[in-house]
Amino acid sequence: MAHLDESQLSTKRRIRINRLKRFIVAFGVVLAAIPLVLCVFLGIRLHRMSGELEATEEEKAALKEQMTTLANTSEIPDTSASADALSGNPNRIIDYDVAEDSGMMQDAASVDGQTHVYLTFDDGPSPNTAAILDLLEEYDVKATFFVVGNTDAYAKDIYRRIVDEGHSIGIHSFSHRYQEIYASEEAFLTDFYMLSDYVYDITGARPTICRLPGGSSNTVSNLDIPELIKDLNRQGIRCYDWNISGRDAEGNDLSSEEIARNVLEGVDRFQTAIVLLHDSGDKKATVEALRIVLDGLRERENVVIEPVTADTPIILHIAMDTDA
Ligand SMILES: [Zn+2]
């Protein structure tokens, strides 16, 4: 009986020992497998990340190339591919801000100690103009629109709304085709008066202010710009550049917050603040930025928002003779 018990006991012990052995072996295998699995996992991640890095590098190189091309093609991006369907001008060129360095920007001293802010919109009418006008109405603010030629019914309503709602309407260019309007002074004035007559026919108001496409310091024109401006002055037209830009013409990926920040930081630097913004169908962010700008201006003391009129101090990027 005792013998049987003993052999039973030793069998049980063997089983237990065997089980323990198996456990130790299994534990060893698992322990050895962990670094192996980790290695494979990290290897895969590394491979993926280096792929992403490569893609980013490629993107960076493409961007760099684009920037170089832009810089070499007289700083004016050709937007013929993204033709403005509304205006029907497939060769329209979007303004590219030049002479933007704040150091070069003129200011005009305030006569009443207040900062005078002029919000100006280039290139409309566009599908966004109605929204811009609605916002200006909501804030009870008058602005300035440097318009282009656009013959559809919506655009005609927009020209009328601009004038009827008390904003300033100025000439930008009928065709907005830089190569054509800057080919000669005659070509420029033909385009100019085509738009002037057109706006007058529709609104009954004859524009007396203008903004040269690309600004007075644009690098496309071979014209004698000071001479052209003097000629326009003699015809009762005052030309305005800007000293603050929302920089919304430099691609469509600027957020509304960035555009608004560009404007508000500029306003804090000048006493006469002529703000360049764009009224263009693909610039929804500008419309959203406008609300932020209007809120920001409302918070500031001693700031008045006005439309550009014959009394507005001239801000130009180029130097003019004083007897102009
Ligand atoms: Zn323009």
Distance of alpha carbon 217 from alpha carbon 209, whole angstroms: 17
How many Cβ atoms sit within 10 Å of the Cβ of residue 227? 11
C-alpha 6 to ligand 1 mean position (Å): 104
User: Residue 135's pLDDT is what?
Assistant: 98
Give CA–CA dist 281/287, Å, rounded. 10
The CATH code belonging to domain 82-305 is: 3.20.20.370
Which residues of the chain carry a pLDDT beneath 50?
Answer: 1, 62, 64-103, 324
Give 298 Cα–ligand 1 centroid separation in angstroms.
28
DSSP letter at 102? G
Residue 186: its pLDDT value, please?
A: 97
- Burial (CB count within 10 angstroms: exposed 0-12, middle 13-18, buried 19+), residue 168: buried
Q: Output the CA 164–ligand 1 centroid distance in Å.
A: 23
CA of 188 to the centre of ligand 1 (A): 14
Model pLDDT, residue 60: 56
CA of 8 relative to ligand 1 center, distance in Å? 101
Residue 18 CA, ligand 1 centroid: distance in Å: 87
Q: pTM for the whole thing?
A: 0.70
Cβ 207 vs Cβ 199: under 8 Å: yes
pLDDT value of residue 279: 97
214, 223, 205: which is closest to 168 by C-alpha? 205
What is the token pair recorded at 315?
């801000």
User: Ligand 1 centroid to 40 CA: how many Å?
Assistant: 57
Alpha-carbon distance of 93 to 218, in angstroms, equals 13
Give the model's pLDDT for residue 4. 55
How far does residue 264's CA lie from ligand 1's centre (Å)? 22
84-123 per-residue burial string, b: 16 or more CB within 10 A, e: under 16? bebbebeebbbbbbbbbeeeebbebebeeeebbbbbbbbb
- In this prediction, residue 321 carries a pLDDT of 73
Distance 173 CA to ligand 1 centre (A): 8
If 0-12 CB within 10 Å is exposed, 13-18 middle and 19+ buried, where does residue 14 land? exposed
How many angstroms does the Cα of residue 179 sit away from the middle of ligand 1? 13
Q: What's the rounded Cα separation, in Å, for the pair 29 and 222?
A: 80
Give the Å distance between the CA of 177 and the centre of ligand 1: 9
CA dihedral of residues 103, 107, 113, 115 (deg, nearest 10): -90
Q: Residues 6 or more apart from 14 whose CB is under 8 A from it?
A: none
Separation of CA 156 and ligand 1 centre (Å): 19
Burial class, 32, CB count within 10 angstroms (exposed 0-12 / middle 13-18 / buried 19+): exposed
> Tell me, what's the pLDDT at 46?
72
